[in-house]
C-alpha cells in the first residue's frame, strides 16, 4: 500500500513547478490524471534534450501519471471537466490568476460540484498583489526576493542559480499545502482553495539571509553571510588539479579536526580573511583525490564538488535509491531521479512511466461513464 492510495488528483499544470508537485503526490501513491491540451500537450514534451522525440524534462517530472487530453476552451470540454471533478479529491492548476474563472472553472464553480474538493492554484506571484498578473520565471522570482543578489562572482555580478529554487521549492511547498488541506478535510468535511506562489516559496527560503536585516535592520553585504562566503571554514577551495573541495566545518570541533589533520592548528586563531587565504594555500597543495584520501577518516564536514556525471554514480546516491529507472513501451528504460523520501510501511514507488499524450483518455472518461464510441466522437471533433 502507498501512503496516498485512494487520493485522486486532477493535474491541469504544465512545465516544471506543477508537474513536480503532482509527481511527488503520484510517487506517494496518489492517482494523478494529467489533463493536457489536445494536439500539443505539455510544452516540455517538445523541449530539448530529447529522448527519442520526447523532451527529457517532461519524462523526468511526469512519471506515475495518466494522461487525458481535453479542450477546455470548448463547452463540451468544460462540461467533461465538471463531471470529472466530482470524482477527484484535488485539482491543481498553474494558469495565471483569473484564467480558470474566465473559463467558468474557478474554485467557486468546481466546489459546488464537489464540496470536498481541494483546489490548489500554483502561480508565479500569487492571487493578489500588484504583480498578480505579471509574467515571470524562476530567475525573476529569486531576483525579487533578494536571493539572487547573493549568488555573485568576484566581480559582484549576480549569476542565475543552477537549480530552479522558486519552481522546485514552489512545487514542493504546494504538495505540502495540498496534503495539509486533505488532512484538514478529515475534520471539516470540506475542501478549500490553496494558493501557493513561486515568489513566496522562494522568499520562504531566506531564513539564514534574513537574520541580519530582521535583527539589525541592515542586510548582509554579498559575500559576507556566514553560510554564503562569510566564513572561511564554510567555503569552496580549489585543489592542485583544478578541481574543488567544499569545506563545511561550521562547528568548532569539525574545523579543529580539519586543521589538526593538515597540521595547521594555528589557522583556528586567524580572522576570516586570514584563514581563507591560508586555506586557499593549504587546499591548493593537493589534488582532489589526495584530499579525499586524507580526510576519509576525519570527523569533519567536507565533500568533493562533483560533476553531475560523478554525482549520479556516487555510492550514497545508490544507497538511497536516488537514481532509478522505469520501462517505457516506446522509449525503453528511462533513468529517473528517485523519490527523496523513504517510508517503513508505505513506500514511494516509481511504477508507471511518463504517459504518452492522451494515452489514458478513453480509460479516464470511461470512469465517468463514457463508452468508446462516445470518446471517438469527441476525438473526431477535437474535444479530446
Same domain, yes or no: 144 and 195: yes
pLDDT tens by residue, 169-209: 999 999 999 999 999 999 999 999 999 999 999 999 999 99
Residue 215 belongs to some domain of the structure = no
pLDDT score for 154 = 80
Whether residue 305 is found in the same domain as residue 337: no
Cα–Cα distance between 219 and 204 in angstroms, integer?
Answer: 16
The predicted pLDDT at position 275 comes to: 98
Look at residue 38 and tell me if it is in a domain: yes
Q: What percent of the chain has pLDDT over 70?
A: 100
The rounded distance, in Å, linking the Cα atoms of 321 and 349 is 11
Average pLDDT, the chain: 97
CATH code for the domain of 282: 3.30.1540.10
Confidence of residue 49 (pLDDT cuts 50, 70, 90): very high
* 155, pLDDT greater than 90: no
Q: Tell me, yes or no, whether 188 and 263 share the same domain.
A: no
Same domain? For 86 and 46 the reply is yes
pLDDT band at 1 (very low <50, low <70, confident <90, very high): confident
Determine the average pLDDT of the residues in 106-120.
98
All three cell numbers of 380, joined, read: 473526431
Look at residue 248 in the predicted model and tell me its pLDDT.
Answer: 98
Residues 170 and 278 reside in one and the same domain = no
146 assigned to some structural domain: yes
Q: What pLDDT score was predicted for residue 75?
A: 97
The enclosing domain of 119 has a CATH number of: 3.40.50.10540
Which pTM value belongs to this model? 0.96
Average pLDDT score over residue span 68-75: 98
pLDDT in tens, 11-28: 999 999 999 999 999 999
Q: Which residues contact 15 (CB under 8 A, 6 or more apart)?
A: 42, 43, 44, 94
Q: Which of 282, 298, 313 is the last residue of a domain?
A: 313
Q: How many residues does the chain have?
A: 384
Name the DSSP class of 152.
B
Active-site residue set? 167
Domain that holds residue 249: 226-313
Number of domains in the chain: 2
Residue 6's CB: how many other CB atoms inside 10 A? 10
Same domain for 199 and 254?
no
Residue 216 lies in a domain: no
On whether residue 218 sits in a domain, the answer given is no
Any domain includes 214? no
Look at residue 1 and tell me if it is in a domain: no
What per-residue confidence (pLDDT) applies to 144? 98
Using one digit for the tens of pLDDT, what is the confidence trace for 52-65?
999 999 999 999 99
Instruction: Please tell me whether residues 243 and 302 are part of one structural domain.
Output: yes
Domain limit, last residue, from 313, 330, 355:
313
Pair 181, 65 in one domain? yes
Residues 36 and 181 in one domain: yes
Tell me, yes or no, whether 184 and 108 share the same domain.
Answer: yes
Nearest to 361 by CA among 99, 81, 111: 81
Q: Which of 270, 296, 313 is the last residue of a domain?
A: 313
Q: Are residues 104 and 87 in the same domain?
A: yes
Same domain, 326 and 305: no
pLDDT of amino acid 96: 96
Indicate if the alpha-carbon torsion angle 290, 296, 299, 303 is positive or negative.
Answer: positive
> How far apart, in whole angstroms, are the C-alpha atoms of residue 170 and residue 17?
6
Q: Is 221 among the domain residues?
A: no
Amino acid at each position: 500500500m502507498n501512503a496516498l492510495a485512494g487520493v485522486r488528483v486532477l493535474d491541469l499544470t504544465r512545465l516544471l513547478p506543477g508537474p513536480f508537485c503532482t509527481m511527488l503526490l503520484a510517487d506517494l501513491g496518489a492517482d494523478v490524471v494529467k489533463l493536457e491540451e489536445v494536439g500539443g500537450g505539455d510544452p516540455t514534451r517538445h523541449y530539448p534534450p530529447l529522448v527519442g522525440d520526447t523532451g527529457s524534462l517532461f519524462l523526468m517530472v511526469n512519471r506515475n501519471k495518466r494522461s487525458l487530453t481535453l479542450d477546455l476552451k470548448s463547452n463540451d470540454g468544460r462540461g467533461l471537466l465538471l463531471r470529472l471533478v466530482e470524482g477527484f479529491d484535488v485539482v491543481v492548476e498553474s494558469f495565471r490568476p483569473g484564467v480558470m474563472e474566465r473559463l467558468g472553472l474557478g474554485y467557486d464553480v468546481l466546489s459546488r460540484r464537489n464540496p470536498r474538493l481541494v483546489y490548489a492554484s500554483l502561480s508565479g506571484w500569487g492571487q493578489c498583489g500588484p504583480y498578480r498578473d505579471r509574467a515571470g520565471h524562476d530567475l525573476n522570482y529569486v531576483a525579487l526576493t533578494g536571493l539572487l543578489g547573493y549568488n555573485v562572482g568576484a566581480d559582484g555580478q549576480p549569476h542565475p542559480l543552477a537549480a530552479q529554487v522558486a519552481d522546485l521549492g514552489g512545487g514542493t511547498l504546494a504538495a505540502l499545502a495540498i496534503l495539509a488541506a486533505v488532512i484538514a478535510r478529515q475534520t471539516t468535511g470540506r475542501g478549500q482553495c490553496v494558493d501557493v506562489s513561486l515568489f513566496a516559496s522562494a522568499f520562504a527560503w531566506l531564513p539564514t539571509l534574513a537574520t541580519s536585516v530582521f535583527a539589525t535592520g541592515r542586510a548582509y553585504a554579498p559575500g559576507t553571510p556566514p553560510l554564503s562566503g562569510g566564513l572561511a571554514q564554510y567555503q569552496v577551495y580549489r585543489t592542485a588539479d583544478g578541481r574543488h573541495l567544499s569545506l563545511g566545518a561550521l562547528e568548532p570541533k569539525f574545523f579543529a579536526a580539519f586543521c589538526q589533520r593538515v597540521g595547521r592548528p594555528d589557522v583556528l586563531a586567524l580572522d576570516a580573511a586570514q584563514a581563507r587565504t591560508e586555506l586557499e594555500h593549504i587546499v591548493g597543495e593537493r589534488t582532489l583525490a589526495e584530499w579525499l584520501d586524507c580526510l576519509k577518516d576525519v570527523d569533519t564536514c567536507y565533500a568533493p564538488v562533483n560533476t553531475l556525471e560523478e554525482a549520479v554514480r556516487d555510492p550514497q546516491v545508490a544507497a538511497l535509491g536516488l537514481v532509478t529507472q522505469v520501462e517505457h513501451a516506446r522509449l525503453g528504460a528511462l533513468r529517473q531521479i528517485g523519490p527523496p523520501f523513504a517510508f517503513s510501511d508505505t513506500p514511494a514507488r516509481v511504477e508507471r512511466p511518463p504517459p504518452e499524450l492522451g494515452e489514458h483518455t478513453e480509460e479516464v472518461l470511461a470512469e465517468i461513464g463514457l463508452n468508446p464510441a462516445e470518446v471517438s466522437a469527441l476525438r473526431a471533433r477535437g474535444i479530446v
